[in-house]
A = this chain, B = another copy of it.
Amino acid sequence: MYGMIGKITAAPGQRDALIALLLRGTEGMPGCLSYVVAKDAADADVLWVTEVWDSAQSHQASLQLPAVRAAITEARPLIRGFEKTAETVPAGGVGLPA
């Protein structure tokens, strides 16, 4: 499995709009086992994306899906910063295949 933890800083006041974009078109992404978009509880401009895929290839391929490309294009102006906090190798857990 392949995992990623990303920290995104939204343009001021744009976090909710950005979250809506990031959640749009995420159904039916082949190989996606978990994809969570969450507000940082302390910083009103920060959100976190934590992802688990069956492989790094599936993750890469998802970036070419029309719905994902459109969402990324629309989201760009709302993003002030992006930090890839970690790339991971998920070992297991609740909500993942055993």
Tell me which residues from 49 to 98 in chain A have a Cβ below 8 Å from any Cβ of chain B: 50, 52, 85-96
Q: Quote the shortest CB–CB distance from A54 to chain B (angstroms).
A: 12
Main secondary structure of the interface of A (DSSP, over half): strand
Q: Quote the shortest CB–CB distance from A62 to chain B (angstroms).
A: 11
The tally of residues in A whose CB lies under 8 Å from a CB in B reads 37
CB of A36 within 8 A of CB of B95, answer: yes
- A37 to B7 CA separation, bound complex (whole angstroms): 18
CB of A41 within 8 A of CB of B94, answer: no
- A47 to B91 CA separation, bound complex (whole angstroms): 10
| Partner of A36 from B3, B26, B39 at Cβ < 8 Å | B3
CB of B85 within 8 A of CB of A85, answer: yes
Q: Quote the shortest CB–CB distance from A40 to chain B (angstroms).
A: 5
